[in-house]
Each structure stands twice: as structure tokens, then as C-alpha cells.
Structure 1
Amino acid sequence: MTVELAPFPPLNRGELTTLQVNLGYRCNQSCSHCHVNAGPTRTEMLADELIDLIPEVLQRQGIQCLDLTGGAPELHPSFRRLVQQVRATGAKVIDRCNLTILSEPGQEDLARFLAHHSVSVVASLPCYSKDNVDQQRGDGVFERSLDGLRQLNALGYGRGDDNRSLDLVYNPLGPTLPPPQAALEADYKRELADLGVRFDRLLTLANMPIQRFARQLERNGELESYQVRLQDAHNPDNLQAVMCRNLFSVDWTGQCFDCDFNQQLGLACQGPIRHLRDLLNPDLTIAGSAIRTEQHCFGCTAGAGSSCGGALQASSS
């Protein structure tokens, strides 16, 4: 029997603090949960003429954080140039790194580059178990991830230094909500310490029922039940802290979206901000504008909440 799903509550923007830019879908991995369908054969990349606009947009809007995603953002030919330009303005740069990129041919000096420019690293590691990681990300990924973490540790990452912060990202293997973040972080730190690895924080994310993961759920007959699970776990207290209230997500064509998930579903912003170029206008009224929401948004408000910065409620984690 088909279950009628409830609409997601309306949301409005707060202060714009972060510009999240997807530099392209090329990646050295093809993960089963990847909501952007990234992989080695993807060729889409942000044009250099748009790359050149990013530092100016940050300054005109007073945005203090650039969050770089992909694919593997480091595979964009202008990744390093962009990082250097943005760090020269004093803005923070986050690199959402899959760790195995640090051992790809031609990227042997990447970890040193990130450390030299004080880039914050948010690294994907869906479990501290080899079998679970390799099941989700491919054979050998766990060991290569550990090698990447050790490279970063040797350069001062994972020691509580804000200039070299290293956070790990956990997401469940299947259609379940993440466990409490604080308890799981303690487990990660204990298990990885035994492997000679340290990090600063663990960020727990729910898997969004879109793209590759949604198709997997549908094949298994679990898509509807997972959507219901997210809706039933909705916590209205999370609405004020969801990431879309404080960021714009930019795709590889320069189009603007309310979040990375809306980007992958082609759900464009409804307000005056439609393209990266629109953000060059410092007189735009952004706070208070409506955010476009759909059923998948329950993935961000279920339980302790889920965002690019991990769980939204520390007390529930």
C-alpha cells in the first residue's frame, strides 16, 4: 500500500555564511551512496571563468567560508589556484576529501599543499571497519584512506589546531538513521587510535533518498519505507539549524541551489539568486527569502538532524 507523505515545513534563509561549490563530478571513486553519481568517467567541471568569480563573490557578500565539493574537488585543474586566491583573502576553505585522492598519481604533494594553506579537511570514512568501508566504497579503499589520514596526521592535522582541522564523515550503510554522534565519535577515536590515526570531530550524516542511493533502495523495495522513517523521525527543533538557511550551493555550471541535495535533483532557487553571477550584487536581500523544500528534506531534520557540519543537536548525540 502506498503511504501518503506529508509536505516538509516552510523554511526561510538566515545570514549567508557559506558558499558551497561543486567543482565537478569527476572522482576516483564510485561510491554506492553517492548522491551526485560521481565517478572516474564524469567530465563535468566548473569553467575557469566562473572559478575566477568566486573570490569576488565571497568578498562582496561578506562570506567567510568556501566549502569545496565534488566528485573529488581536488581533480579540478584550478583547485589549487582557487584555494590560494581564497585563502589570501582570509576566508576559510573546506576541502571535502575522499582521502584516497591523496595517493592518486599526480597528487602526491596534495596533503602538503592543503597543510601549507591551512585548508580544513572534511574526510569521508563511513566506518572504522575495513569490510564496511570497502563494501560501500570499493576494495582497498579502507587501507588507502588510512594512508591518507596518516599523511595528514604527519602534517599536523587532527591535533585540535583550527588551521589544520580534520573531521571525518560517517553515513550509515543502508536505510537507517545515524547513531548518536558523540558516542560514535568516541568509538571512532578508540578504534582509529589503535591504527595510529587521529582526527578532530566525527560528523554523522543521514543518507538522502535521492540519485544512486534512491535507485538502490527502490531495487530493494525499501525506498518508501525509508522516506516514511525519515518523516516519522522529523524533529521541528532542527529547522532553525539546517544548513540551507546559511549557504548557497553552486553546481558546475554556476547555477545556485538552496543545498547540495536540491542541486542534484535540479530544484533551482526560487528567489533572485539563480546563478553565481547574481551574488556579485552586494545589495541583494538574501535573509528571509524562501527556501525550496521537498520530501528529501526530512533527511536533514530526522532525529538529531543532519547537515554538512554533522548532527544539529549535540544534546541528542
Structure 2
Amino acid sequence: MRSFQEFVDGAGQPLVRDGFNVFQVNMGYVCNLRCRHCHLEAGPDRREAMSREVVDDCLRFAAAAGTIDVDITGGAPEANENLTYFIGELRRLPNVKRIIVRSNLAILEEPGKTHLPEFFADHGVEIVSSMPCYLEDNVAAQRGEGIYGKNIGVLQRLNELGFGTGKLKLHLVYNPGGAYLPGPQAELEADYKKNLGDSFGIRFDSLFTIANMPIGRFRSDLEDQGQLAGYTDMLAESSNARNLAQVMCRSQISVDWQGRLFDCDFNQALGQPAVEGTIGNVTVKDLMGLPIRCGDHCFACTAGSGSSCQGSFDK
């Protein structure tokens, strides 16, 4: 199998950061779930959480970064006690265009978290909700028994608050349940909207399809089933050079709970920082024009229709 670097060299499209419009902040690896496809291996047993000091460094970085979206993730970002402070301070920054929170939904029913949907609504937060399937059995296989019902209840509550039904944006995320690529995003979105709408009256704005990275818990699952080599070969063989122009690492930076900087959340999971130093002593100017750190896991972003945190490149 050719390496990803050989694929990039053959395409004649060197990967460098040639823009910056998305600041992705990972607030830690604590999560109420242990999803089978999680690249960070997040879960209830993790203790890594971003401190107020690092949050303040992120705010200073964001304030000086020009017009940006701030994409907040985890683990479950809601598990971090500094989340509401962070969002409140971000909302004061005129250059921050969108504040996005990536939620597994089920955590919004946990004790001490039930107030967050109203908080998100009051602060104009855009919610990206992981919902691996519109069928209960498939969600249970990836996320555990009982999670589907919690997700449905939270989605209905978000609709009541105006998410997915008006100005407040609500997006769902589909991850494949096995060693295959997502189907066409537009077709899956139509299926989700029909099934969730007909069965539960749920509405949402759009569906993002994201290919599973062969790292973390998903990699272990592939190894246990003897499917790792087949999956990685499939990613390489189905990769398309045209997708290199749209990969998210060209225009974003990811920061971890300690303030270290990465080209993406996946490189963060692998411990491959983009630069030395931390968010407290690095500026946007320091990051521009730098080559992206690549590995064979990057084929997951260029395979098929392409994949990013905003879904398929083929809209």
C-alpha cells in the first residue's frame, strides 16, 4: 500500500496551512459514554480536563485570530466545568462568528447538565450532535443500551427550544458502524429526516457524515475482528486527490486540554503536535504556512467523497 505522503507527493498538492478560520478546542477526554468508534478513547474513567488557565489562553488566542468559528469538542465538552465560562467569554468577542459545541446528546440528561440546552440557546450556540443512526439497534451497538432513548428525548427538547426549527442550528453526525465508508451524505440526510421526523417529530438542519479513523478504540475493534489491514487498504485505494484541496487541516488548528497545538483532533489523539509550545505562547502568524503533519490515518479524510468535522466534501 502506498503511504499517504506518497499519495500527496503524487498529487502535487503539498499540505500546508494556507488559511485559518476554525479554532477547534478539545476541553478534555472525560465522557459519560465509551463509544466503539472513539478515536480519543474518551470515557467516564478519563481525568484529562482543560483548566481555567488554559481556557483563558484560548480566549486570548481567539481574540487575536481574526474572523473565526470556535468548534468545542471533547470527550464530552459538557463534562468540563469551565464550558459555560468559555462560551460566555467567547460570545463577547466580535470576531467569533460561530460557537459550535459537539455533543453526544445523552450527557444533557445527566445530573447537573440539564440546564445546558437553555444556556446554549441563550448564547446562540450551534449544536453538532453525534447520532450514529436513526435506528435504535445500531445506536446501541456503538454507544450502549438506553442511549437511543435519551438522544431522542434531548433532540425533542432542543427542537422545543428552537434548535433545528429556526435560527438556532442543529446538525447530526453519522459515523459508520463498521469497516466501511459513509454512504452519500444527501441520501443519508433524507433518510434521517424522514425516519426521525415520522417517528418522533424531530427536525434538524443537516447531517454530517464522517469516516471513522483507524486509530484509538475503533482501531482496536478492527484489530480484534481481523479487519484493520482491509480497512486501511480500502481507505488508500478509494482516496481521491481532489479532496486534498478541502481537507480541514489547511484552515484550522486544534488545541488539547493542556494547550498543545495540533493540525487536527486526530493528530491530537496520536500525540503528534503541529508546533512546539502551547496556546499561551503561539500566535496565528506562527502557524501559517507550516506543513501539515501527515500519516496513513489521513486517508480517512480523502477516501471516497472526503470527510471532515463538517461532513462530506461532496455536498
Q: Aligned-pair distance for 1:63? A: 4.4
* Separation in structure 2 between the aligned mates of residue 237 and residue 278 of structure 1, nearest angstrom: 35
Partner residue, 1:138 = 144
Secondary structure of 2:151's counterpart equals: helix
1:25-40 to 2 correspondences below 5 Å:
25-40=29-44
Query: 2:58, 2:280 within 8 Å by CA — same for their partners in 1?
Result: no
| Letter aligned with residue 280 of structure 2 | R
Partner residue, 2:299 = 298
Partner residue, 2:183 = 179
Secondary structure of 2:78's counterpart equals: helix
* Separation in structure 1 between the aligned mates of residue 144 and residue 188 of structure 2, nearest angstrom: 23
Partner residue, 1:238 = 243
Q: Kindly indicate whether residue 86 of structure 2 is the aligned counterpart of residue 85 of structure 1.
A: no
Partner residue, 2:173 = 169
Choose from 222, 225, 229 the match for 1:220.
225
Structure 1 residues 177 and 276: alpha-carbon distance in aligned structure 2, compared to 1, 3 A threshold: same
Query: 1:5, 1:228 within 8 Å by CA — same for their partners in 2?
Result: no
Secondary structure of 1:66's counterpart equals: strand
Give percent identity, aligned residues only: 45
1:1-317 to 2 correspondences below 5 Å:
4-8=1-5, 9=8, 10-90=14-94, 91=96, 92-161=98-167, 164-194=168-198, 195-269=200-274, 271=275, 274-279=277-282, 281=283, 284-314=285-315
* Separation in structure 2 between the aligned mates of residue 23 and residue 63 of structure 1, nearest angstrom: 21
Q: TM-score, normalised by structure 1?
A: 0.93
Secondary structure of 1:53's counterpart equals: helix
Q: Aligned-pair distance for 1:5? A: 3.6
Query: 2:49, 2:257 within 8 Å by CA — same for their partners in 1?
Result: yes
Q: Aligned-pair distance for 1:285? A: 4.6
Query: 2:4, 2:299 within 8 Å by CA — same for their partners in 1?
Result: no
Q: Aligned-pair distance for 1:289? A: 1.5
Deviates more, 1:10-19 or 1:168-177: 10-19
In the alignment, structure 1 segments of 5+ residues that lack a partner are none
- Provide the alpha-carbon RMSD of the alignment: 1.2
- Runs (4+) of structure 1 exceeding 4 A deviation are none
* Separation in structure 2 between the aligned mates of residue 215 and residue 125 of structure 1, nearest angstrom: 22
Q: Aligned-pair distance for 1:287? A: 3.1
Aligned length: 305
* Separation in structure 2 between the aligned mates of residue 274 and residue 196 of structure 1, nearest angstrom: 48
Q: Aligned-pair distance for 1:296? A: 0.4
| Letter aligned with residue 16 of structure 2 | N
Query: 1:238, 1:313 within 8 Å by CA — same for their partners in 2?
Result: no
Q: TM-score, normalised by structure 2?
A: 0.94
* Separation in structure 1 between the aligned mates of residue 287 and residue 245 of structure 2, nearest angstrom: 16
Q: Aligned-pair distance for 1:306? A: 0.3
